[in-house]
Chains A and B, each alone.
Chain A
Amino acid sequence: MIKAILIFNNHGKPRLSKFYEHYNEDTEQQIIRETFHLVSKRDENVCNFLEGGMLIGGSDYKLIYRHYATLYFVFCVDSSESELGILDLIQVFVETLDKCFENVCELDLIFHVDKVHNILAEMVMGGMVLETNMNEIITQVDAQNKMEKSEFFPFFSFSLSLYRRLSFSLPGRTGRHRPVLQERPLVPYQL
């Protein structure tokens, strides 16, 4: 089971938090802070597993994370999940985001957290892995987006897409514009 999925940036600002177990808001924030604290002090070239923090988990739980550009993707999972499998799942997640947002960068996540949630919902449901095939995920996400669009007047959806284009197509993508998926050609463990 996956207990929580957190995305935050290099400064610990949450970009997405999904808890599959209920905590109140304060505890959630504490968990995010604690997790950030644990993860951020680790070097780039160390393993991606961490025995869980105090707040989340306990002995059966592990934090499995990957660091992309300015973002940390952290999954808190118990021992029923394969560690390497989850690492691949994170990669699938990020690649899916990359496809859906066309060169995803932190800003996409900042402004479209709802979309990120929708994508995530096609991958993980209630703490269990629902789908790992990127194409299948994208098909479902696209189909739902299409439905959404069909429910509105064209100009409205147009204005949304225009908005995106204006705000992010900036030259020199650094910092929060830095594409998340640029440097790492990863060999999946799962193949």
Chain B
Amino acid sequence: MALKIVKGSIDRMFDKNLQDLVRGIRNHKEDEAKYISTCIDEIKQELKQDNIAVKANAVCKLTYLQMLGYDVSWAAFNIVEVMSSSKFTYKRIGYLAASQCFHENTDVIMLTTNQIRKDLSSPNQYDTGVALTGLSCFVTPDLARDLANDIMTLMSHTKPYIRKKAVLIMYKVFLKYPESLRPAFPRLKEKLEDPDPGVQSAAVNVICELARRNPKNYLSLAPLFFKLMTSSTNNWVLIKIIKLFGALTPLEPRLGKKLIEPLTNLIHSTSAMSLLYECVNTVIAVLISLSSGMPNHSASIQLCVQKLRILIEDSDQNLKYLGLLAMSKILKTHPKSVQSHKDLILQCLDDKDESIRLRALDLLYGMVSKKNLMEIVKKLMIHVDKAEGTTYRDELLTKIIDICSQSNYQYITNFEWYISILVELTRLEGTRHGHLIASQMLDVAIRVKAIRVFAVAQMATLLDNAHLLTGNMQRNGICEVLYAAAWICGEFSEHLENPVQTLEAMLRPKVATLPGHIQAVYVQNAAKLFATILKNQEGNTDSTAAQETSQMMIDRLPLFVQSANLEVQERASCILQLVKYIQKLQQKDVEVAEEVSALFAGELNPVAPKAQKKVPVPEGLDLDAWINEPPSESESEDEQPKAIFTKEEPKHSRPRHTEVDEKELARRREARKQEQANNPFYIKASPSSQKVYQEAPGVEHIPVVQIDLSVPLKVPATTPSHPTGLPMSDQYVKLEEERRQKERAEKKKKEKKKRKEKRSGRGKKHDSGPESEEDITPAHVVDIVTEEMPENALPSDDDDKDPNDPHKALDIDLDKPLADSEKLPVRSHRAAGAPKSSAEDGEAENATPQEPKKKSSKEKRDKKKDKERDRKRSKEEKKKKKHKHEEKEEDLLGGQAEEPVVQSEETKEVEAQPTSTSAEVSDLDFWLSNAPVPSNTQEAATVAEAAPAPEAPAGTAADSEPEEPKDTETEESKSSKHKKKKQKKEKEEKEKKKKKKHHHHHHHSDGGGEESVQNGTVEEEEPLPPMSNYCLLAENSYIKMMMEDADQVCDIQGNLQDGSQVVVSVIFENKSDSFLKSMEFNVLDSLNSKLQRPEGSGPHDGLTVPFQLPPGVSNEARFVFTVQSIVMPQKLKGTLTFIVKNEDSSTHEKLDFKLHFTCTSYLITTPCYSDAFAKLLESGDLKSSSVRLEGVNMPFHHLLARICFHHHFSVVERIDSCASMYSRSIQGHHVCLLVKTSGQTVSIDAKCDEPTLLGNVLDEIKQTFSQC
């Protein structure tokens, strides 16, 4: 063996290695290709040898050749061989080669799965690292699926080096295998708080990348990121987070409000330019998102603009560039603040750096107003003249046109000016944008009716001087303009002053040198002109003029008949024959003009680009419906929860999208309408535009004011050596200036008069103030013909998203609890070397289903607060809407009974309130609502029996009111009476505020009482009251414990097998201003229920709570209990001991509590299909029982939702006021309910295979409702 290695090494010494190859290539500069091909032959030989060292060397060389552009995919198998070498050196070479040339279609990739898996679990961290790095480049959907679980395990590796790589690669895995996102997400989230900064940064990186594509799914992480932002000192991480916030804030303006302050602080404090810049960027994003809602952010805007100005003025070109870039973002919403820096931006137009000039141009685009458009364009025209090199000049040209034509020529007050600008632009030599200018000319002439006379005159001159343009003819060159000129002159020939001359110009022999498509237009429009001329001349007594014109046509047209261009030829010969025929008639003195012009009658109106798309789908036509029955898929799958998710996905996300969009669209549409209504430029898109077309007289009623042609229509000669004085457009600028002045003066006069008339009036605020936009009236009223749309066009503006975007698949709701089926595929025969994974997986799965639920319940509480205000206002509307809601809800409950009910409630909220898209948004709600801190929390606690008020700030108490003392409460349980109070000597002030304590029993009090108090506070659109399963467990001056319903069972299957486990989530909140540590949670076990303790500890040992609590902070811990029998409710006494640490002292404290496990705690929301449900009832194994509830005063769907939520049922079917519901206990008991309501009476018939359990559950349900 050793010998072989020696031999290998020696062999290698004689082979060419990479360096020799490189040197060889450098020495063969003349015949490089030939040399390389001999090298490749050598490499092929080397690859045939058995020696791995030789192979690795060959692969290493191939990698180099790949960089030079040689395809080396033929060696893919050898690369795999080298990858699987046991030596790190070779392995690394192999993986590098693979990462450079493998891709999804490389077929040998499938051979690598096991090798990679082996490397991932290698004891050598660098083997693992190299494998991860390689994999990140060539991961395929198959690899992602097969390895997702292994990589997830690595996310908890002991070495941070591996952890950070594993975290990072998860992004690639998600992209290729989107199903892995939900199962892996909880762990990924955990890594945000990894002790290693590298790992943390990687997690931030991945989540930011995910969130950027589908921000709404990540809104719920905002509080966590906020915390990171305020605590992290790593600028790389900060930048990512701040960028992420920039993406989130448009979805949640309140987030923006919260961000402004810390961001402003950062802007002031940081010395890192990169960070400063990103902060400014995000503040801008925030301001944009707030722009409609919040006034008074002018300070922030000023700060941003000011900082950006500093960047722009910096000598560092990079900062200058970015400053301009960011400035353009502000511009969109706060143009005024940017406009004051016009000087700076115009200055940047002279910068030597083209990128900067282009950025400055972009800014100009948004800075124009009616007032300054002419001035800015004038400056740009100067730049056009100066600009060297055509690229930048062309860019300038397009920018000028963009600037002028933006938002439907909104800023143009004088179209004559604009036409003259366009004409001036035609003088640019060698521009590629003739076409653009041409289309502008056409557009303006067609849509601005009043300008046609002027335009036609200008175009006629252009045609007359065509030889000047055609001098430098090139493709796409400026001669395209002639296309427009000819068409305009032909189409609107009635406005021509001297049509014969124009006709003559259009038929010059030189025209034949123009591109074919332009000639074709010439010929066609010559005919139109001809028709007009005939019409004009026929009135005259002297018919010779008309005949001369015909003769001219007949003389000139043959030139075009000979054209090589088919189109030209065809049109020309057609028209030639026509003219000949006309001439014959003319000679017989027949009047033909009428008929000839009839050939060209009718007006062409522009059609909107989206017109086709907007044709509405006729009612009753479902384009997605199958015409024939779809091929049946395996029906058994329907029973699986898996099918449930896939089935419901489209149902959910779709409407959500449209709803958000629609709202936004409606807003935009409204804004547009408003704008159009106030804009004299628009005629409303009335059906008239269509009719006008048929019956020309319709045009008359449009009020078109006569153009005041104060500039003589003597059109400038288009000679480059322009006649003296100002260019045409400048004359208009001047005139416009004068006109405005006059107007202003007049207005003032009028106003004065007005004021005189009603002096008592409040008077005008702005008589002599700076001229505002609205004050400038256009020179003449011009009607812009709007683009035509099909009748009853759909009012949708949906921007089409790329359906192939890989990120679309990652639009996954992360807040939904994980379903059983959502697990990463695990190999059944696990390779040795990953012993940790199974344990960890279990843990991860334990954790995952809980988190979302916990949140969702928490969020509800929080929501209440928010909603309270709106409540009264909305009550009435609510009633009206109720009916609707009920219908909706029915669908939802029916359609997704498989989903835990919590969820279905939330979807309803979502439906009603499109902005809050996910369950956790409301959690966020609470976090956000925290911004204006409810300072009266303490009062709330005493006043309201309802406990949750004080707990509301729990999550974020840290940032809002860390120092505020909280109420002192000790708790206990059972009935909702307060019992004890404990007062701490040190906290006397607090005592005053809070002497009372109350405690609540979770289910009873929170389910009922609390809601009855707070529930009315439902927002207008919200059909359901928020509900919470958290209840106060115990509280004293130091700490508060909130317990979540003891229902969270993690793994149903596991539970069914090994007895029963119940997980209790407890939130600990530190309410004092001391540090709490060494918390121990202990419960006195009963025979039936036991706290699960780690192995080796005695039955009376407490469990250490795995965290410490700084002042004001809360955290959650979970405790697992084993329960033998679940048919009876249980009560357990417990104690929490902890150390209170002050600066000077530390004391031991304890807090007693009672845990109450209700029978419903043991029920798990389980979906059930109606047929399965029916079978269950028919089976006859179930005992029945029933209960009647009187005086239940709530809508039926609320009632159902409440049962679902508090008692973990799911609705199987609902028909009118009758519903069947189902749930299952952790030990597999079926519980079926039939709920009927009439008036205020609700009767519940129930069946269960365990009568005791059923009895208890019914009692609990009864209790829930007795408290409302």
A residues with CB within 8 A of B: 1, 14, 16-18, 20, 22, 24-26, 28-29, 43, 45-51, 80, 82-85, 87-88, 110-114, 117-118, 121, 125-133, 136, 140, 143-144, 147-148, 151-153, 156, 159, 163, 189-191
Partner of A46, one of B22, B93, B169, B354: B354
The answer on a CB contact under 8 Å between A163 and B271 is no
State whether A22 touches B104 (Cβ < 8 A). yes
Once bound together, how far apart are the Cα atoms of A113 and B21, in whole Å? Answer: 12
A interface, over-half SS = mixed
CB contacts (< 8 Å) of A147 on chain B: these are: 88-89, 124, 126
A114/B19 in contact, CB under 8 A: no
A191 touches B198 (CB 8 A): no
Name the contact of A128 in the complex, choosing from B130, B171, B277 (C-beta under 8 A).
Answer: B171
Residue ID in chain A nearest B68 by CB atoms: A14
- Quick check: is B235 within 8 A (CB to CB) of the other chain? yes
Kindly identify, within residues 158 to 206 of chain B, every residue whose CB is under 8 Å from any CB belonging to chain A.
161, 164-165, 168-169, 171-172, 198, 201-202, 205-206
Tell me whether A1 and B209 are in contact (CB under 8 A). Answer: yes
Can you identify 21 A-B contacts, CB atoms within 8 angstroms? Answer: A45-B352, A51-B355, A111-B18, A113-B18, A113-B63, A114-B64, A114-B96, A117-B96, A118-B92, A125-B132, A125-B169, A128-B209, A129-B236, A131-B164, A143-B126, A148-B88, A151-B89, A156-B9, A190-B272, A191-B271, A191-B272
Partner of A190, one of B68, B70, B236, B317: B236
Flag if A130 contacts B236 (CB, 8 Å). Answer: no
Instruction: Report the separation of the CA atoms of residues A111 and B26 in the bound assembly, to the nearest whole angstrom.
Output: 11
Structural contact, B202 and A47, CB atoms closer than 8 A: no
Given A25-B69, A50-B355, also A153-B277 (CB < 8 A): no
B205, B239, B272, B318: the one within 8 Å of A48 (CB) = B318
Instruction: Give Cα A110–Cα B169 distance, bound, in whole angstroms.
Output: 29
- Chain B residues with a Cβ closer than 8 Å to the other chain, count: 71
Pair B96/A130 contact, Cβ less than 8 Å: no
- Fill in one digit per residue for B131-148: 1 if any A CB lies within 8 Å of its CB, else 0: 011001101000000000
Complex Cα spacing A121 to B169, Å = 13
Query: Is B966 in contact with chain A by the CB < 8 A criterion?
Result: no
Closest to B64 in A: A113
**Contact across chains for B243 and A125 when beta carbons are under 8 A apart:** no
In this assembly, does B417 line the interface, its C-beta being within 8 Å of a C-beta of chain A?
no
Number of A-B contacts (CB under 8 A): 162
Q: Closest residue to B21 on the A side, CB-wise?
A: A111
- Known contacts A25-B71, A125-B132, A129-B205; is-contact A47 B318 (Cβ 8 Å): yes
Please provide the chain B residues from 404 to 421 with a CB less than 8 Å away from any CB of chain A in the complex.
none
- Interface status of B1159 (Cβ within 8 A of chain A): no
Check B168 against A130 for contact (C-beta < 8 Å): yes
Asked if A83 and B88 sit within 8 Å, CB to CB, the answer is no
Chain A min CB distance to B240 (Å): 8
A83 touches B318 (CB 8 A): yes
**B1201 within 8 Å of A by Cβ?**
no
Q: Chain A nearest CB: distance from B275 CB in Å?
A: 8
B274 interface residue per 8 A CB criterion: yes
- A1 surroundings in chain B (CB, below 8 A): 209
Q: Which residues of B contact A49 (CB under 8 A)?
A: 318, 321-322, 355
| CB < 8 Å neighbour of B356 from A47, A112, A140 | A47
Query: Nearest-CB distance from B355 to chain A (Å)?
Result: 5
**A1 nearest CB across to chain B (Å):** 6
Residue B884 lies at the interface, judged by CB distance under 8 Å to chain A: no
Q: State whether the Cβ of B336 lies closer than 8 Å to any Cβ in chain A.
A: no
| Chain A CB within 8 A of B66 CB | yes
CB distance from B837 to the nearest CB of A (A): 22
B-side contacts of A126, CB under 8 Å: 133, 136-137, 139, 168-169, 171-172
Binary CB contact string for chain B from 82 to 126 against chain A (1 if under 8 A, 0 otherwise): 000001110011001000100110000000000000000000101
Tell me, in angstroms, the Cα distance from A8 to B69 when the chains sit together.
14
CA distance A156 to B320 in the complex (A): 52
Residues of A within 8 A of B318 (CB): 47-49, 83-84, 87, 189
Assembled-state Cα–Cα distance A45/B212 (Å): 33
Interface flag for B666 (CB, 8 Å)? no
Would you call B236 and A85 a contact (CB within 8 A)? Answer: yes
Point out the residues of chain B lying under 8 angstroms from A128, CB to CB: 168, 171, 202, 205-206, 209
Which 7 A-B residue pairings sit nearest by Cβ, starting from the closest?
A: A126-B136, A84-B274, A22-B103, A47-B317, A46-B353, A29-B69, A47-B321
Alpha-carbon separation in the docked complex, A22 to B168 (Å): 19
Q: Which residue of A lies closest to B88 (CB)?
A: A147
Report how far A17 CA is from B124 CA in the complex, Å: 28
| CB-CB nearest in chain A for B26 | A110
A73 vs B60: C-alpha distance when bound (angstroms): 23
Q: In the complex, which residues 216-249 of chain B have their Cβ closer than 8 Å to any Cβ of chain A?
A: 235-236, 239, 243
Tell whether, in the assembled complex, residue A132 and residue B89 are in contact, meaning their CB atoms are under 8 Å apart. Answer: no
Contacts of A121 in B (CB 8 A): 96, 130, 133
B590 contacts the other chain (CB 8 A)? no
CB atoms of B69 and A114 under 8 A apart: no
- Whether a CB of chain A sits under 8 angstroms from the CB of B278 is yes
CB neighbours (8 Å) of A51 from chain B are 355
The reply to whether A118 and B96 form a contact with Cβ atoms under 8 Å apart is yes
From A47, A83, A136, A190, B235 is in contact (CB under 8 Å) with: A190
Report whether B9 and A152 are in contact in the complex, using a CB–CB cutoff of 8 Å: yes
Residues of A contacting B607 in the complex (Cβ-Cβ under 8 angstroms): none
Q: In the bound complex, what is the Cα–Cα distance between A48 and B235 (angstroms)?
A: 21
Please, how many angstroms separate the alpha-carbon atoms of A180 and B164 in the complex? 30
A105–B114 Cα gap in the complex (Å)? 40
Contact A84 B273 (CB under 8 A): yes
Across the interface, name the chain A residue whose C-beta is closest to B65. A25
- The smallest beta-carbon distance between B90 and chain A, in angstroms, is 9
Enumerate chain B residues within 8 angstroms of A87, measured Cβ to Cβ: 318
Q: Please state if B9 and A114 are interface contacts (CB–CB under 8 Å).
A: no
Contact B272 A111 (CB under 8 A): no
Bound form: Cα–Cα A104–B172 in Å: 33
Query: Cβ of A189 and Cβ of B169 under 8 Å apart?
Result: no
* Chain B contacts for A153, CB-based, 8 A: 6, 9
B1266, chain A: closest CB distance, angstroms: 55
Bound Cα distance from A84 to B279, whole angstroms? 13
CB distance from B88 to the nearest CB of A (A): 5
